């Protein structure tokens, strides 16, 4: 398993043709840390790390901003605070937590589309 950021980081490395070891040495982290990020065993990286990655790959601001947003959406242990909300919101959050790892990719895409559509102004 991986995270959206792990996938993006691997694509950047592949596109530039650099190994984890080379990149790690250049930005001052261990190859094990990069591997853990790419495989979803580490959570969201900090801003300093993201800046070093953007600098290392010399990516333009728009692409860097996208990388930062992907990193924000890559925390593998999410907390959903439903305090003060109706009971059905808490029930939904808990049901999703229990069943998410058993959902097919198609169902996950469908749910994401529903959530994104719900957040758009009418």
pLDDT tens digits, 47-104: 999 999 999 999 988 888 999 999 988 877 788 999 999 999 999 999 999 999 999 9
Q: What angle do CA 3, 9, 12 make, to 5 degrees?
A: 145
Detail the DSSP E strand segments found in the chain: none
How many whole angstroms separate alpha carbon 100 and alpha carbon 55? 35
**The CATH number, out of the four listed (1.10.287.70, 3.40.640.10, 3.40.50.150, 1.10.260.40), of the domain defined by the range 4-72:** 1.10.260.40
Residue 70 and residue 63: Cα distance in Å, rounded?
11
Q: Which helix (H) or strand (E) holds 69?
A: helix 61-72
pTM, 2 dp: 0.72
């Amino acid at each position: 398993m991986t995270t959206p950021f792990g996938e993006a980081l691997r694509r950047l490395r592949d596109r530039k043709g650099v190994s984890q070891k080379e990149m790690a040495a250049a930005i001052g982290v261990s190859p094990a840390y990069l591997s853990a990020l790419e495989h979803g065993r580490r959570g969201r990286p900090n801003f300093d790390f993201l800046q070093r990655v953007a600098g290392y790959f010399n990516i333009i601001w728009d692409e860097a901003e996208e990388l930062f947003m992907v990193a924000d959406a890559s925390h593998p242990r999410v907390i959903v605070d439903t305090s003060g909300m109706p009971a059905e919101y808490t029930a939904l959050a808990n049901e999703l937590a229990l069943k998410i790892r058993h959902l097919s990719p198609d169902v996950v895409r469908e749910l994401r589309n529903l959530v994104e559509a719900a957040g758009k102004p009418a």
